[in-house]
Every structure is written in C-alpha cells, then in structure tokens.
Amino acid sequence: MTNLQQKIDYVFKVVLIGDSAVGKSQLLARFARNEFSLDSKATIGVEFQTRTLLIDHKTVKAQIWDTAGQERYRAVTSAYYRGAVGAMLVYDISKRQSFDHVAKWLEELRGHADKNIVIILVGNKSDLGSLRAVPVEDAKEFAERENLFFMETSALEATNVESAFLTILTEIYRIISKKALIANDEHESGGNSSLLTGTKIVVPGQEPVEPVRRFSCCMTSAYYRGAVGAMLVYDISKRQSFDHVAKWLEELRGHADKNIVIILVGNKSDLGSLRAVPVEDAKEFAERENLFFMETSALEATNVESAFLTILTEIYRIISKKALIANDEHESGGNSSLLTGTKIVVPGQEPVEPVRRFSCCSS
C-alpha cells in the first residue's frame, strides 16, 4: 500500500508547550523526521508536522503542533489548543527556571484544552547530565501530583523521544477506543466536549462499522473545529454532487463557527460539454444561502487561486475588523461567535496587542 492509499483511522492533534529553548522543535524534528539540529532557531508562530503510525492495528496520524515558547512570538490563542487530545509539556533538565514555569504552562493548558487531554511532562536534554538542575525526583513528584505521564528525553541522542510520543498516543488511543461506543456528535459539538474524541477519518470503501451518524456523510465535528473558512465543492458535470450541497451545508452549519466564511465551488468547469448543473442554479443557491460562489477547474488551474483568495481575504477582512473587540476571554471555551483564527506572528512584525493573560514562561 502506498502512502497515498493508506487508510487513516484516526488523527490525533498533540500540542507541544514549554519555555523557549527547552527543545520542543527538536523533539518534533526527531519524532517526525528523525532529524536534529544544534543551531535550531526559535519558533515563530505555529507549525505542525505529522507522522503516521500503527497502534493496535489502527492507522493513527499524529499531528504534532509546535509553537514559540517566547511570549512575543507566540501565536497562541485558544485556537492552538482547540481540538488537541494530547500535550507534551517540556522543560530543560539543565535549566531550573524552565521547570519552575511548568505549573504556569499546565494552568494555561488546563484553561484552554479539553479537560480529558492526555499530558506528558518531559524533561529534555537528558544528555546534559553534568549540568542537571532539576532532580528526576522533583519532576516525578510533580507529575504524580498532577496526574501527568513523565519521562526524561534527549532529542540530541534520540533517547526516549519515540517512547514519550508513543506514551501519549497510545493512551489517547486507549481512551478513544474505549469511549467510541458512547461518543457521538451531540457530545462533541461545541468544542468543549468532555469526551476525548480525536478525529475519525472515514475513507471511501472502508467505512468503519459504527452507529449511524446524524449525517450519513462525513466526519465528526473535530474536523470543523477551529475552521474559519470552508470550500463546499460539487462537480458541474454531476448533478447529484450539487443536490447534496444542501446536506453538506447543513452539516457545516451544525458543526462550525457560525461566522465561518463559505464558498460554493463548482469544480471541473473544463467539462463544459458534460455540464449537468447550470451556473444559474448554483448562483441562486449561493445567494439564497449567503455563500460566495465560483466555478473552477483544478485541471486547467482556472479560478482556483481566486476561490481560495476569496475566502482568505474575507476571513482577513472580518478578523481585522473584529480584532479590536476580540480577546482571549471571548475565545476561550471554543464556542465563540467571533471568527478569530490563529494569529501568526512574523519576526520583526510583532503586533502591538494587549498583554496576554499568562505572562508565563519565556525569559
């Protein structure tokens, strides 16, 4: 089976947090690509990498999110934590301060993430034993008190990195597979679920045997969580795909932020001779439902750029207008009616914005 054909059973979002320079990005580089760099640059904004692995004969795609430990580079609103089912809280065993800040990071995490999120405390740079400033016992004790997994790692020597990630992923899998029977979309919607659900990916021809979902099409609300834009696509040469648009829209509106920007896209405009959906029908529908609309051809590269730019520009317009009233309090809870996205901070262009609720963590 090639990678492209691989069936993915679950996607688990895991976030990395902890002070700057403790090695978050290098732990991720080691886990995702088996790479390590000594002159790793401080992370700016948000990045993520994925690795697909097998757990209990299921294909799990780990989507690991990494952000800056430095406050001024952090892009973190609650959007960073939204949908996360696991977290790796990293300190540097040779930097006492990075361990002293762990409680603050945990507070931030618990304030923003799903309450059942699986957390592992990681003491990185175990290769620097001679410079140790945090006794293993202190960290163990803290982890036990706070009910966290705990492990010391070295991204440099590739010690326990695999093991640390596998510990969270396996625990997430254990919880989710146990809860699969009681999980349903009603519990999940709202983004504040007490169920740890992850994202179950349904691949055509490989539908899992499970209770019928509210919409026979598609996915769980985890897919929509945090989305600020949506492209609803049909095929202009397949009437049925247009007839289903209303169903997709209903699902979208039932799961996503109410201010999500939506564009209806009639794709395969190159197949004009096989047209089964008149432009007018689609335009009318889009107007009635207050959607943007465009016909595209991915094959001929017609309007594709334009369609994506239409949503992105509209999202930007709304967000920049709302920036003045948006704040973390509104966002937290994941049920915000504000379209907030994730603010990415670019070096040399730090935004002037109110000090965040947690001043913790970077020196």
> Which candidate, 160, 117, 130, places its Cα nearest to that of 17?
117
Residue closer to ligand GTP, measured from CB, 154 or 199 = 154
DSSP 356: P
Rounded to 5 degrees, φ, ψ at 229 are -145, 155
- The rounded distance, in Å, linking the Cα atoms of 197 and 194 is 9
Rounded to 10 deg, the angle between the 279-289 and 245-255 helix axes is: 20
282, 294 contact by CB (below 8 A) = no
Q: Which helix (H) or strand (E) holds 120?
A: strand 118-124
Q: Which span (39-47, 77-85, 229-237, 352-360) binds Mg ion, by CB under 5 A?
A: 39-47
- The rounded distance, in Å, linking the Cα atoms of 202 and 214 is 15
117, 191 contact by CB (below 8 A) = no
Q: Which does 170 bind (CB under 5 to 8 A by kind): ligand GTP, Mg ion, none?
A: none
Total residues interacting with Mg ion, rule: CB under 5 A: 3
**Beta-carbon contacts of residue 97 (< 8 Å; ≥ 6 apart):** 19, 363
Amino acid in the structure at residue 324: L
Smallest distance from ligand GTP to CB 318, Å: 30
Residue closer to Mg ion, measured from CB, 25 or 153 = 25
Smallest distance from ligand GTP to CB 243, Å: 48
DSSP letters for 8-60: --EEEEEEEE-STTSSHHHHHHHHHHS---TTPPPP-SEEEEEEEEEETTEEE
Smallest distance from ligand GTP to CB 29, Å: 7
Q: By CB under 6 A, name the binding residues for ligand GTP.
A: 20-26, 37-38, 40, 42-43, 68-70, 124-125, 127-128, 154-156
Entry field: residues in the chain = 363
Smallest distance from ligand GTP to CB 354, Å: 22
Residue closer to ligand GTP, measured from CB, 155 or 169 = 155
Residue closer to Mg ion, measured from CB, 69 or 229 = 69
Q: Which span (37-45, 54-62, 110-118, 162-170) binds Mg ion, by CB under 5 A?
A: 37-45
Smallest distance from ligand GTP to CB 16, Å: 8
54, 346 contact by CB (below 8 A) = no
Smallest distance from Mg ion to CB 34, Å: 17
- Binding flag, residue 362, Mg ion (CB under 5 A): no
Query: Token pair of 22, please?
Result: 């403790």
Smallest distance from ligand GTP to CB 363, Å: 10
- C-beta neighbour count of 255 within 10 angstroms: 24
Would you give the binding string for Mg ion spanning residues 41-60, x where CB under 5 A is met? --x-----------------
Smallest distance from Mg ion to CB 25, Å: 3
In the list 14, 25, 229, 234, the residue contacting Mg ion (rule: CB under 5 A) is: 25
Residue closer to ligand GTP, measured from CB, 21 or 265 = 21
Q: Which does 124 bind (CB under 5 to 8 A by kind): ligand GTP, Mg ion, none?
A: ligand GTP
Instruction: Using the structure block, give the residue that is written with the tokens 């020196």.
Output: 363
3-class secondary-structure state, position 106: helix
Residue closer to Mg ion, measured from CB, 69 or 198 = 69
Residue closer to ligand GTP, measured from CB, 107 or 144 = 107
Site for Mg ion, rule CB under 5 A: 24-25, 43
